[in-house]
Amino acid sequence: MHFQPDYEQSYIFRIIYSFHMPLFMMLSGYFASSSMSLGIREFFPKKFRQLLLPCISWGILCWLIITSGLIEGRFHLELKGLFTGWLGIVDNFWFLKSCFICYTLSWLCYRCGRYKVVAMAIIWVLCTMQGRFFLDMMFPSFLLGLYLRNNQWLQNCLEKYRYVLYTIFIILLAVSLFMLSNEIYLVKLALGLSGALACLVLFQSTLGKLQPKPTLERLARLGGATLGVYVLQAILLEYILPHYVSFEAFPIVGIVFLMPLISFVALFVCFGLVQTIRLSRLLRYIMLGEKYQK
């Protein structure tokens, strides 16, 4: 999408961005149950290593590349540019910072014992009063994933009434796209959550029921490289390639066919880069947040 001018106005962009980050955060919450029982001495060092350390490392690398001009294919390191551009690190890879905050807030709520639901509701309200890291959307999405993992009854209901869920998502999407209500918080939240749930249920009702096969097992290994792939594709498709590639003159039909192809190529290129980074114990620790094994 970043290869097009005014891509934020396209329907494809608006459809994808209506639910893709709530889906990311819901899946993060879905696999967060074990972290909720960790003690303070284990929780914060672990989550800092897994989420914030890669964010800082990649952020500094991108900051140096962008401010030095290497992204445009030239080199002109200026101290003034370094000092005035450092604030970009704050917003780079915001989803990792948001994920860390959602983990922390949920962990604190679990420390409230039987009042954890009340604590979650209060924090949710507070999240809607600020605009940093999209916590008004991300925190409830994380909580939904956390709740869904431990509630088989709800999972069965979603599976049973999946077509109702798909219909709700399509209706909310149409309302958001054509009735200019995409800035209404409750509509955005309902759209994001229903889209995330629809994706999860669609997966569970199709690929989720297949018996493990060699091809699926190989593809599943990509999941172990999620953080690295996510960061690298953002650098590749959002920062670097848009300086050299433009789809401005392409017809929409050609773009629709090209985008999946570019996405698959980028996915496997990034996965290959992650595997290369993993060859170094130090790099896999500071860039991917994985344990440093002696």
Write the burial class of residue 61 (CB in 10 Å: 0-12 exposed, 13-18 middle, 19+ buried).
Answer: middle
Q: Does 3 reside within a domain?
A: no
Q: Does 108 reside within a domain?
A: yes
CA distance 155 to 204: 10
pLDDT digits (tens, 9 = 90+) for 177-234: 887 656 788 888 999 999 999 999 998 888 766 766 777 777 777 788 888 998 898 8
Q: Does 228 reside within a domain?
A: yes
Clarify whether residues 156 and 280 are in a common domain.
Answer: no
pTM of the model: 0.86
Clarify whether residues 38 and 102 are in a common domain.
Answer: yes
Clarify whether residues 127 and 223 are in a common domain.
Answer: no
Q: Does 153 reside within a domain?
A: yes
Total count of domains within the chain: 2
Please report which confidence band the pLDDT of residue 86 belongs to, taking 50, 70 and 90 as the band edges. Answer: very low
The number of beta carbons lying within 10 Å of the beta carbon of residue 24 is 20
Domain limit, last residue, from 194, 211, 228: 211
Name the residue range of residue 135's domain.
10-211
Cα angle vertex 13, ends 12, 15, to 5°?
Answer: 65
Please report which confidence band the pLDDT of residue 75 belongs to, taking 50, 70 and 90 as the band edges. Answer: low
- Average pLDDT, integer, range 24-48: 92
Supply φ then ψ for residue 3, to 5 degrees: -90, 0
Clarify whether residues 70 and 95 are in a common domain.
Answer: yes
Q: Does 162 reside within a domain?
A: yes
